[in-house]
Structure 1
Amino acid sequence: MKRNKISVIGAGNVGSAVAFHLMISKIASDIVLYDIDNKKALGEALDIYQGTSLLAPVNVYAGTLEDTKNSDIVVITAGANQKVGETRLDLVNKNIQIYQTLIKDIVKYNPNAILLVVSNPVDILTYITYKISGFPKSRVIGSGTVLDTSRFKAALARRFNLDSRNIHGYVIGEHGDSEIAVFSNLHIGGITIDEFLKLKHIEDINFKEDIASEIKNAAYEIISRKGYTNYAVAVAVTKICTAILRDERSIMTVSSFLDGQYGVSDVYLSTPTIVGREGILEILELTLSHQEQMRFRKSADVIKNIIKESNL
């Protein structure tokens, strides 16, 4: 029986939460936690491992980059943390320097792995990982707006007192300030959002703008209170890893390399994407409203300009 191996690069708030949730999900036989601060990685790995006897057999341990060898998935959470008042894009130059060395070492030991980038700004760092690694675009994925899409559904579910699993919609574009909540394709129980608002006698005066603002600012809201986000993103990362290892062919808004979709090329952005054992299997292109289309292209321009101006 094949053992599934996932390595998590970075044992900080996000990396340790990811490793913990992967352990709970029971999808991997081996989980390796690496951090430049080996003492921290050892502590986190030991803490997680001691709960395994209550769930299912899984080998959780801290190691060197060489110990990540032959991983099925390498989850990259390493990088500078987002500080209060700092946007995701402010992090780019700090993290580019880290990635230029890190990715080469990861590829050395994991030439056949799928690389899943989580560090922010995720779309830019996924693009950089793709360029440095030399991997096919199908095997370099960003966590993208999977979390933002979850926040979108959760916000609507709370407003309407519904099960969020019955809300079907997406946040696309950048995982950041230029993201787009796609109301034109939003359905609740098979009913369009506009029909649902009429059914509930809710006037659409600033409703959509308020929801979009809530999900866009969700991370800033949390960071202002606890200094970082980690739990929900760990769930999102585990969902992506599960889709890969179980070859689920799930549709998720991961950050994918676009090659003409929405009139955009040579950039990583999020759009509904079929994900399976080989990574990105197919990118789906939504029919957007004119305004959403323009905003998506603007989101692409934001990312491209940052890459152009960064210290690559």
Structure 2
Amino acid sequence: MPIGISKSRKVVVVGTGFVGSSYAYSLVNQGIANELVLVDLNKEKAEGEARDLNHGMPFGFPMRIRSGGYEECSDADLVVITAGANQAPGETRLDLVSKNAKIFKTIVTSIMETGFQGIFVVATNPVDILSHVTLSVSGLPKERVIGSGTILDTARFRYLLSEHFQVDSRNVHAYIIGEHGDSELAVWSHVQIGGVPLKRYAKLDNVEENKDMQLIFENVRDAAYHIIERKGATYYGIGMGLARLTKAILDNENSIITVSTLLEGEYGLDNVFLGVPAVVNQYGVREILELELNPQEQAKLEKSGKILKELTEKVL
């Protein structure tokens, strides 16, 4: 049943690795869904995760949790795909393109064969390209295929700015846009601390060229590499980010989140998935917000879009 009509609040997670399991754990802790189904090629792993989560139910929120197959997608409101090959130490997200594109074509085809008419959320890297693959294979309207985009990068940016200025991160408003990866950019021209533009708040003449601000951005951009070097993978932050996105969809919040969505003329870019601020509700992406970028930011965004578009065309 199409999203916006169904009241089941049913979520299917495809892939029960670190990211999928962390996401499921976040859903249970926050009581976001009514029904959660875990799907994985390793059926025993999916069943084990479901049992483990169910055993914590007395401490959490009422929710039906079980493992299952793709047939569970037929009446799901949301299918969240976290399955795929992981990013190895020294490997970029874009290095994962070909192997994960093949995996996704199989997964999405299997899901659509069930009659699925809900919303896809893609978290597997490279997320922008795989979101485009999902749109192409599924044939769904573009607003119903959403990538996690720069939702985590933006959270990292806000956190590091809050640490630097000793302000609650919830009062820091800032965006990372573009590729979820090496060509992403910080929109310094729109950073605000409690509504005060960063340039005025920090008393900086040129924010982008300030060494402290440059270091903050570099730590945002390279965060995954640093974490992978130390613990092998990143999953808690993105798990919580996916839960936040799920809540915005199921609760029809009309929240502004930096998701990966198809641009068709916005920012002067066409036919490419990029992370940009967008209004998200029960129907998916309601609209894309076009920030007024300065010339340097616009050039960086166009470069990021060009990189992704060229790789996407090869994959498709």
Q: Same fold (TM over 0.5)?
A: yes
The residue identity in structure 2 corresponding to 1:50 is H
Of the three residues 208, 211, 236, the one matched with 1:231 is 236
Looking at structure 2, the residues matched to 246 and 205 of structure 1 have their Cα atoms a distance apart, in angstroms, of 40
Looking at structure 1, the residues matched to 270 and 129 of structure 2 have their Cα atoms a distance apart, in angstroms, of 14
SS of alignment partner, residue 275 of structure 1: strand
Deviation digits for residues 174-205 of structure 1 (CA, Å, limit 9, x no counterpart): 10000011100001011111111118xx9963
Of the three residues 137, 142, 150, the one matched with 2:155 is 150
Structure 2 portions without partners, runs of 5+? 1-5
What are the equivalent positions in structure 2 for 1:122-271 lying under 5 Å apart? 122-198=127-203, 205-271=210-276
Looking at structure 2, the residues matched to 271 and 203 of structure 1 have their Cα atoms a distance apart, in angstroms, of 20
The residue identity in structure 2 corresponding to 1:295 is K
SS of alignment partner, residue 32 of structure 2: coil
Partner of 1:26: 31
What are the equivalent positions in structure 2 for 1:3-152 lying under 5 Å apart? 3-152=8-157
The residue identity in structure 1 corresponding to 2:124 is S
SS of alignment partner, residue 69 of structure 1: helix
Looking at structure 1, the residues matched to 63 and 116 of structure 2 have their Cα atoms a distance apart, in angstroms, of 24
The residue identity in structure 1 corresponding to 2:109 is K
Structure-1-length-normalised TM-score: 0.96
Residues 76 and 116, structure 2, Cα contact 8 Å, conserved in 1: no
SS of alignment partner, residue 281 of structure 1: strand
Looking at structure 2, the residues matched to 203 and 82 of structure 1 have their Cα atoms a distance apart, in angstroms, of 30
Q: CA deviation at 1:110?
A: 4.6
Looking at structure 1, the residues matched to 306 and 54 of structure 2 have their Cα atoms a distance apart, in angstroms, of 44
Looking at structure 2, the residues matched to 269 and 291 of structure 1 have their Cα atoms a distance apart, in angstroms, of 18
Aligned residues: 309
The residue identity in structure 2 corresponding to 1:261 is E
Deviation digits for residues 233-265 of structure 1 (CA, Å, limit 9, x no counterpart): 011001110000000000000001100011100
SS of alignment partner, residue 234 of structure 1: helix
SS of alignment partner, residue 40 of structure 1: helix
Residues 243 and 275, structure 1, Cα contact 8 Å, conserved in 2: yes
The residue identity in structure 1 corresponding to 2:92 is T
Residues 77 and 119, structure 2, Cα contact 8 Å, conserved in 1: yes
Q: CA deviation at 1:3?
A: 2.2
Q: CA deviation at 1:111?
A: 2.4
Looking at structure 1, the residues matched to 254 and 195 of structure 2 have their Cα atoms a distance apart, in angstroms, of 22
Residues 182 and 292, structure 1, Cα contact 8 Å, conserved in 2: yes
1:284 aligns with 2:289: yes
Residues 197 and 204, structure 1, Cα contact 8 Å, conserved in 2: no
Looking at structure 2, the residues matched to 203 and 170 of structure 1 have their Cα atoms a distance apart, in angstroms, of 14
Evaluate the alpha carbon distance shift between residue 204 and residue 100 of structure 1 in structure 2; reply closer, same or farther with a 3 A threshold: closer
Residues 73 and 116, structure 2, Cα contact 8 Å, conserved in 1: no
Looking at structure 2, the residues matched to 165 and 100 of structure 1 have their Cα atoms a distance apart, in angstroms, of 38
Deviation digits for residues 288-311 of structure 1 (CA, Å, limit 9, x no counterpart): 01000000000000101112334x
Looking at structure 2, the residues matched to 275 and 309 of structure 1 have their Cα atoms a distance apart, in angstroms, of 29
Partner of 2:277: 272
Of the three residues 283, 297, 300, the one matched with 2:302 is 297
Structure-2-length-normalised TM-score: 0.95
Residues 33 and 45, structure 1, Cα contact 8 Å, conserved in 2: yes
Q: Give the CA RMSD over aligned residues.
A: 1.5
Q: CA deviation at 1:2?
A: 2.9
Looking at structure 2, the residues matched to 255 and 114 of structure 1 have their Cα atoms a distance apart, in angstroms, of 14
Evaluate the alpha carbon distance shift between residue 77 and residue 203 of structure 1 in structure 2; reply closer, same or farther with a 3 A threshold: closer
Looking at structure 1, the residues matched to 125 and 59 of structure 2 have their Cα atoms a distance apart, in angstroms, of 33
The residue identity in structure 1 corresponding to 2:162 is A
Q: CA deviation at 1:65?
A: 1.0
The residue identity in structure 1 corresponding to 2:264 is D
